[in-house]
Amino acid sequence: MSSDYEISDNEGDYYDSDEMMEDYQNDDQDEDDMEMDDYNDDFRINTGPKRKSYEVDYTSLSQSSVEESLKEDVDHICGILGVDPAVAALLLRHQGWNKESLIEKYMETPTKVLVDSGAAVPEPAREPIVRAHSVDRSAAGPSSRRAIRSNSKLLSSLTLPTRSSAQKSISSPAASASKFRKDAKSSEEPESFVCPICFDDSPELKPVALDCGHSACSGCWNAYTISKIRDEGEHCIRCMTEGCAIVAPDDFVHNILVSDAAPPGSDTNENLVAWTRFQELLVRSFVSSNSKLKFCPYPGCTNTVSCPSATSKSVLTTMVPIVSCGAKGIPRSANDKKPAPSSPSGITSLYDKEHVFCFGCPIESDHRPVVCGVARLWLKKCEDDSETANWIKSNTKECSKCQSTIEKNGGCNHMTCKKCKYEFCWVCMGPWSEHGTAWYSCNRYDEKGGIEARDAQSRSRASLERYLHYYNRWANHEQSAKLSVELYAKTEKKMEDMQITSDLTWIEVQFMKKAVEEVEKCRMTLKWTYAMAYYLARGNEKDLFEDNQRDLEKAVEDLSELLESPIETENIPVLRQKVTDKTVYVQKRNEIVLEDTATGFLDGRWKWNVSVDGFEDPAEEVRID
């Protein structure tokens, strides 16, 4: 039974996400941002039948398109629950944007849900306030109250969706927009208003209150709201009164920051910054609670990526969801001081790197071909072990009985293990008892005990050696990829030289740039193949994998060498031919590695020598450490 239910649930999800995707694409096309459109075209080619097995379906969304889908959710809730959009937004925020759970909970205890999410005042406190403003309330009619009072109406709206949507369209935008001013007017009734925050009592003071009726002047509300948003990064702005849990709806925040209601003395620029930040915080909260979405981790970027195919943890064992948010480089503001060096012909410089990251894990780079679980395992190991391992290797030995690692910092060769009390000789590693009376000199190399101990020693060293073998290659490629910035600068210079010394045009010397880019890309792949190879269980599969790795590495190093070679005018055409050929070849090899690994994951071909989340535990004989 339960599995049936789950299936139907998933279908609903798929339907939902498809709809969402379409909307986003339409939305993007509407934008007259050229880059975005270009990107979308690329994207469509990728998703077509030609999509490689190591690539993943995704859509990149701007902040405004996420806002759009956020608004859709709000409208959806408005339609079903028959509440104001502002109230619906508060409800959704409190329930972590989970529509299903919100509707379910709201059906059970509407009042509690409203109070918990700060959209309504709890019962005892509410009654007197409502009475005091009764004339005003009935006119303004915030439908949150209506919803609390009549459950029957709510149920009927559920069964008759058409009616509820009609109801919604009447009450939504106008009502919520006017509410702000209505509230302001309602509390203006008393002849002299003294703001309880700043104690100002000048007649032109504008009292402002949320549904709870706790008024303060607009200046204080403004300062409070800004401090909450800017200093605390908070999108849930509560009433200032102690113990009051009412939360300011979005239109209230908008009004207090950027509209006629914003206090006259306040800093317009600061207001605007706070409002922008508030919208961003909302989007972030929406994105972080939706498993199909992920916020771009690059600093200053506000884009989001939707990748519905990589939401479940189990799928991460068969694919590597590397995505790009579509933006490039660092946003202008952060870049102002130092304009990115770009050549007159307007080629994209290295500073305009695409924002590539992994949808499935926190790694902020392309870790193909290796899956998230293994990549994380490797990074963790490197973090913990590399330097330590190097030091251990050169400074310590293991006790031949209990394998504790021992550093000898003085004294004679007669060692007594602190842990297991085993007595042995530091020089030959054999048991001390065999040394008899030959104190402090070890000339017993060929004794049986010593040989056995040294064997054990070398076995334990072997695992360290093995790790360092992979780590050094990994680190090497990482280092080379970093150096590619320099290589790039050098290459640009070479490209210019080439134009001068030969009759090649700018377009014709682009082969250098392409080669550099390809080398960098392949080094990233190579880097991660070492992480993968370290954890791959021995066998034919691993041999094949390492063959592919070796071919790619050879090709990349060849191309690298060509790029570094000095340019002589007479052999430019030859060089050009060579580099172009090699680039194409390298590209092919890289694709083979990626493609083969990706299909391997899909077929479940790869076996590990350690236990990896989501994979079968390795058989005993292939376990390494």
Q: Quickly list DSSP for 6-36.
A: HHHHHHHHHHHHHHHHHHHHHHHHHS--HHH
* Catalytic pick among 412, 417, 442, 522: 412
CA angle, 283 then 285 then 291, to 5°:
100
Among the candidate windows 161-169, 170-178, 191-199, 408-416, which touches other proteins by CB under 8 A? 191-199
Q: Is 442 in the site for other proteins (CB under 8 A)?
A: no
d(CA 337, CA 224): 33
- Whole-angstrom CA distances from 349 to 42, 57, 331 are 20, 27, 15
How many residues line the site for other proteins (CB under 8 A)?
17
The radius of gyration of the chain from alpha carbons, rounded to an integer in Å, stands at: 33
Q: Active site includes 420?
A: no
CA angle, 526 then 531 then 536, to 5°:
110
Residues 245-304 touching other proteins, rule: CB under 8 A, are: none
Strands (E) across 336-395 are located at 354-358
CB of 238 vs other proteins, minimal distance in Å = 9
CB of 241 vs other proteins, minimal distance in Å = 5
User: Which amino acid appears at position 195 of this protein?
Assistant: C
Q: Is 196 in the site for other proteins (CB under 8 A)?
A: yes
CB of 231 vs other proteins, minimal distance in Å = 8
**Do 425 and 445 form a contact (C-beta atoms < 8 A)?**
no
223 vs 316, beta carbon nearer other proteins: 223
5, 34, 192, 199: which one contacts other proteins (CB under 8 A)? 199
Binding to other proteins by CB under 8 A, coded x per residue (else -) over 236-255, reads ----xxxx------------
- Whole-angstrom CA distances from 487 to 343, 349, 499 are 16, 12, 18
Question: What count of Cα atoms within 13 Å lies in the side-chain half-sphere of residue 562?
Answer: 25
Binding to other proteins by CB under 8 A, coded x per residue (else -) over 116-155, reads ----------------------------------------
Binding to other proteins by CB under 8 A, coded x per residue (else -) over 208-227, reads ------x-x--xx--xx--x
222 vs 548, beta carbon nearer other proteins: 222
Backbone angles phi, psi at 320, to 5 degrees: -120, 100
CB of 197 vs other proteins, minimal distance in Å = 5
197, 361, 464, 475: which one contacts other proteins (CB under 8 A)? 197
217 vs 522, beta carbon nearer other proteins: 217
Residues 59-118 touching other proteins, rule: CB under 8 A, are: none
* Nearest residue to 70 via CA among 217, 280, 214: 280
88 vs 274, beta carbon nearer other proteins: 274
d(CA 402, CA 616): 30
267 vs 568, beta carbon nearer other proteins: 267
CB of 227 vs other proteins, minimal distance in Å = 5
Q: In sequence order, what are the residues at sequence separation of 6 or more whose Cβ sits closer than 8 angstroms to the Cβ of residue 457? A: 397, 398, 400, 429
Cβ atoms < 10 Å from Cβ of 221: 30
Catalytic center residues: 412
Residues that bind other proteins (CB under 8 A): 196-200, 214, 216, 219-220, 223-224, 227, 231, 240-243
